[in-house]
Amino acid sequence: ANGPVTLWARDPKASAAMQATRMNAARLDGYTLPESVTATSDLNAVFQADTILLAIPTQKLGAWLGEHAEKLRGKRLVACCKGIDQTTLRGPVALIEATVPDAIAAMLTGPSFAADIAGQLPTALTLACADEGEGPYLQGCLSTPTLRLYLSPDVIGAELGGALKNVIAIACGVCMGAGYGESARAAVITRGFAEMRRIGKALGADPETLTGLSGFGDLALTCTSDGSRNYRFGQSIGAAQDFDPTTTVEGAATAISVSNLAKKHDLDLPICTVVAALSDGSITPDTALATLLSRPLRKE
Ligand SMILES: NC(=O)c1ccc[n+]([C@@H]2O[C@H](COP(=O)([O-])OP(=O)(O)OC[C@H]3O[C@@H](n4cnc5c(N)ncnc54)[C@H](O)[C@@H]3O)[C@@H](O)[C@H]2O)c1
Ligand SMILES: O=P(O)(O)OC[C@H](O)CO
Residue 18 CB coordination number (10 Å): 24
Q: Per-residue pLDDT tens for 267-294?
A: 999 999 999 999 999 999 999 999 999 9
Question: Quick one: pLDDT at residue 35?
Answer: 95
Cite the active site residues: 165
Domains and CATH numbers, the chain: 5-155 (3.40.50.720), 156-293 (1.10.1040.10)
How close is the Cα of 293 to the center of ligand 1, in Å?
35
Q: Residue 8 above 90 pLDDT?
A: yes
Quote the pLDDT of residue 58. Answer: 98
Cβ of 9 closer than 6 Å to ligand 1, yes or no, is: yes
**Which of ligand 2's atoms lies nearest the C-alpha of 249?**
4
ipTM over the 0.95 cut-off: yes
Q: Which atom of ligand 2 is nearest to the CA of 248?
A: 4
Per the DSSP assignment, residues forming a β-bridge with 79 are 54, 107
Tell whether 268 is in a known binding site: no
| Residue pair 214/109 in contact by the 8 Å Cβ criterion | yes
pLDDT value of residue 3: 86
Say yes or no to pLDDT of 234 above 60.
Answer: yes
Q: 176 and 185 in contact (C-beta within 8 Å)?
A: yes
10 Å CB burial of residue 3 (0-12, 13-18, 19+) is exposed
pLDDT at 91: 98
What is the 250 CA–ligand 2 centroid distance (Å)? Answer: 9
User: 218 a known binding residue?
Assistant: yes
What's the pLDDT at 28? 95
How does pLDDT run across 84-112, given as a tens digit for each residue?
999 999 999 999 999 998 999 999 999 99
Confidence of residue 18 (pLDDT cuts 50, 70, 90): very high
| C-alpha distance from residue 268 to each of 101, 181, 206 (Å) | 33, 25, 20
Phi, psi (degrees; rounded to nearest 5) at 254:
-65, -30
CA 268 to chain centre: 22
Return the pLDDT at 240: 98
Predicted model pTM:
0.98
Q: What is the CA 191 to chain-centroid distance, rounded?
A: 20
Residue to probe by mutation, ligand 1, list 7, 8, 10, 65, most atoms within 8 Å of CB: 10
Mean pLDDT of the chain, nearest integer: 97
Both ends of the chain: CA-CA distance in Å?
44
For residue range 136-182, what is the model confidence (pLDDT) as tens digits?
Answer: 999 999 999 999 999 999 999 999 999 999 999 999 999 999 999 99
* Cα distances (Å, whole numbers) of residue 89 to 49, 62, 158, 255, 258: 29, 11, 15, 11, 8
Residue 2 has pLDDT above 80, yes or no: no
Contacts of residue 240, defined as CB under 8 A and 6 or more positions apart, other chains included, come to none
Least distant ligand from the CA of 231: 2
- Residues 99, 69: Cα–Cα separation, whole Å: 7
- Is 252 among the annotated ligand-binding positions? no
